[in-house]
Amino acid sequence: MADKSGRRRRSSSILQVYQEPPEPLEQLSDQAALPNLNANWVNAKGAWIIHFVLISALKIIYDIVPGVSQEMSWTLTNISYMFGSYIMFHHVRGVPFEFNGGAYDNLTMWEQIDDGAQYTPAKKFLMSVPIVLFLLSTHYTHYDLTYFTFNFTALLFVIIPKLPWSHRLRVRLFAGPEE
């Protein structure tokens, strides 16, 4: 149903899913003009080791907290890493620097890595780290159903946005009207 201005009325749905439209030619030429320093670091020498350092640091921090069991420590490490990974790679759009004039404003960091190509070595690595961490946390929680549920849910929130069919797919909860 359209209102007087010709725009569709907003849906009353809590969940809004839409496909981001392809970039116009001007945007593509802006992206090709300069290297994307926001996403190129994932291919740099030694950049992959930071994930293991972060996971180890999280595990140590949760281990030194009094009253936290090994099972809870692994689960908190898994959830914390997955939450940070989701925010960094799949939630924030654009580039935090002002060197490219907004050429990547509509893309998440995951979509910027390797110019959006799928199954590159960097993307394979970044997809395997959450899976391996999930397997470790599931093993060290002794396959308890409660811990498994939390760990698996955290894994799904990070793996699903990495899949090729969800490239440029946006899911928003409690979305306001589009400007």
Q: Please report whether residue 120 resides in a domain.
A: yes
**Residues facing residue 171 across a β-bridge:** 17
The H or E element containing residue 16 is strand 15-19
Instruction: List pLDDT tens digits, range 61-112.
Output: 999 999 999 999 999 999 999 999 999 998 888 887 776 677 778 888 898 8
| Domain that residue 135 falls in | 15-173
Instruction: List pLDDT tens digits, range 9-64.
Output: 555 567 677 677 777 777 777 767 677 777 888 888 889 999 999 999 999 999 99
Report helix, strand and coil shares of the chain as percent, to nearest 5.
55, 10, 35
Q: Please report whether residue 68 resides in a domain.
A: yes
Separation between Cα atoms, residue 156 and residue 50, nearest integer Å: 22
Q: Please report whether residue 9 resides in a domain.
A: no
Q: Please report whether residue 7 resides in a domain.
A: no
Q: Please report whether residue 8 resides in a domain.
A: no
Separation between Cα atoms, residue 53 and residue 59, nearest integer Å: 10
What's the rounded mean pLDDT across residues 115-132?
92
Q: Please report whether residue 158 resides in a domain.
A: yes
Question: How many domains, in total, are found in the chain?
Answer: 1
Torsion sign, CA atoms 67, 71, 74, 76: negative
Angle of helix 121-140 versus helix 49-64 axis, rounded to 10: 20
Looking at the chain, the number of H-run helices and the number of E-run strands are 6, 2
Judge whether 161 and 90 are in contact, CB under 8 Å: yes
Q: What confidence score (pLDDT) does residue 140 get?
A: 96
Q: What confidence score (pLDDT) does residue 9 get?
A: 55
Q: Please report whether residue 138 resides in a domain.
A: yes
- Give the residue with greater pLDDT, 5 vs 25: 25
> Who contacts 54 (Cβ-Cβ below 8 Å, separation ≥6)?
81, 84
Residue linked to tokens 């199954």 = 119
Q: Please report whether residue 113 resides in a domain.
A: yes
Separation between Cα atoms, residue 11 and residue 30, nearest integer Å: 34
> For the chain, where are the alpha helices, taking DSSP H only?
25-33, 49-64, 70-86, 109-112, 121-140, 145-159
Confidence of residue 169 (pLDDT cuts 50, 70, 90): confident
